[in-house]
Homo-oligomer: A and B are copies of this chain.
Amino acid sequence: MSRDSAIGTNIRETVERLFRDFDARGGLKDVFLVACGGSLYELSGLQHLLRCESRVLRATSVTANEFAFAAPARANGSALVIALSLSGGTPEVVAAAKKARELGASVLAIVGKPSCALAESADESIVFANEASGAEMDYEQSNIAVSLRIGFELLRLADGYGHYEKAALAFGVLDRSLRGMKKQIQRRARKFGEEHKDDRFIYTVGSGPSFGAAQTLSVCIFMEMEWIHSCAIHSGELFHGPFECVNFDMPYVMFMGEGRTRPLDERARKFLTKYSDRVTLIDARELGVSILAPEVEEYFSGLYTWIAAMEYARELAFAKRHPLFERRYMGKVAY
């Protein structure tokens, strides 16, 4: 994957160094994905990739403070902890990284800036691009793309993954494809904002590669940024409880991924559109993920649906006249 970009070379070399370091320790066996809030959900595509494809590595997501206080017994010398934080200073994530190293695990930090407490507590770190800096972002360098790329490198090294080259090609066309998609959805994002600006409650639904996007929209946008009550429901779980709350006035944002779990999303979509008049679809297939190779498109579904969801979020904030970065507690009161 190094042919096309500096970030690709950087990730390949970093992951190789980390991986080789396990040779003397009996090999890498466990990968723990550790973060808080949006960062945790943005790692869920990496968990899905490793869980679906690796016969060698077990991937486990753990919220940072639970890792810090009740570290898994397998977080030891045969484990890699991948910790993600935009600020690089989230105290729970820094504490988890320190705990991981105490226990003998290696730590790879994915951070929004090179100099930060998390990078200092890690064995290696990779910097991702983000829009908070104001500059236009290259999506190949977004946190989700970086984490997926780490996953494909791990699969190449641990499993001799057969579709590595196809994934490499995908990263090369990602930015252009996503940029085009963003333009195409502006009108419907605006419609979403207008139609949901007075809602006190919105559910999100998704599975597999795009469940993380459903969680990010629910927790980071609706609850944290717009103070709208919400819950993210797994498409496979909808029929085991949550669907009893469906009614024609209740809004749902339905995420449709590409690949193996799409039948779960199809089933949820079918039910929701029958019993609610307020279903918004965010469908990776329709957003263009299928220009990527069929062997790997599934794993990029989360990135496509996440970027679309962020456009919907922006328009919701405008329609509500409630800026995305207004907070009442976060960073304002002691907790």
* Residues of A near any B CB (own CB < 8 A): 30, 36-38, 40, 48, 51-55, 58, 60, 63-66, 69-70, 72-74, 76, 92, 201, 207-208, 219-220, 223-225, 227-232, 234-237, 239-246, 250, 259-261, 263-264, 267, 270-271, 275, 327-330, 335
Contact = CB atoms under 8 A, between A and B. Distances in A.
A225 B219 CA distance: 24
A148 B81 CA distance: 27
A265 B101 CA distance: 25
A224 B283 CA distance: 27
Nearest to A35: B240
A63 B236 CA distance: 7
A267 B260 CA distance: 39
Contacts of A237: 36-37, 40, 63, 219
Given A223-B245, A229-B229, A36 B240 contact: yes
A60 B73 CA distance: 14
Nearest to A67: B236
A335 B72 contact: no
A94 to B, nearest CB: 14
- Pairs of residues from A and B, 5 with the lowest C-beta to C-beta distance, nearest first: A37-B240, A231-B231, A65-B236, A224-B241, A70-B260
A16 B92 CA distance: 39
A293 B265 CA distance: 45
Given A243-B329, A335-B243, A60 B58 contact: yes
28 contacts: A30-B58, A36-B237, A36-B240, A40-B240, A51-B73, A54-B73, A55-B76, A60-B60, A63-B237, A64-B236, A65-B236, A66-B234, A69-B264, A70-B261, A220-B241, A223-B241, A223-B244, A223-B245, A224-B240, A224-B241, A227-B244, A228-B245, A229-B245, A229-B250, A244-B328, A271-B329, A271-B335, A275-B329
A261 B62 CA distance: 13
A229 B201 contact: yes
Contacts of A234: 63, 66
Nearest to A226: B244
**Chain B CB within 10 Å, residue with most, of A219, A223, A241, A243:** A241
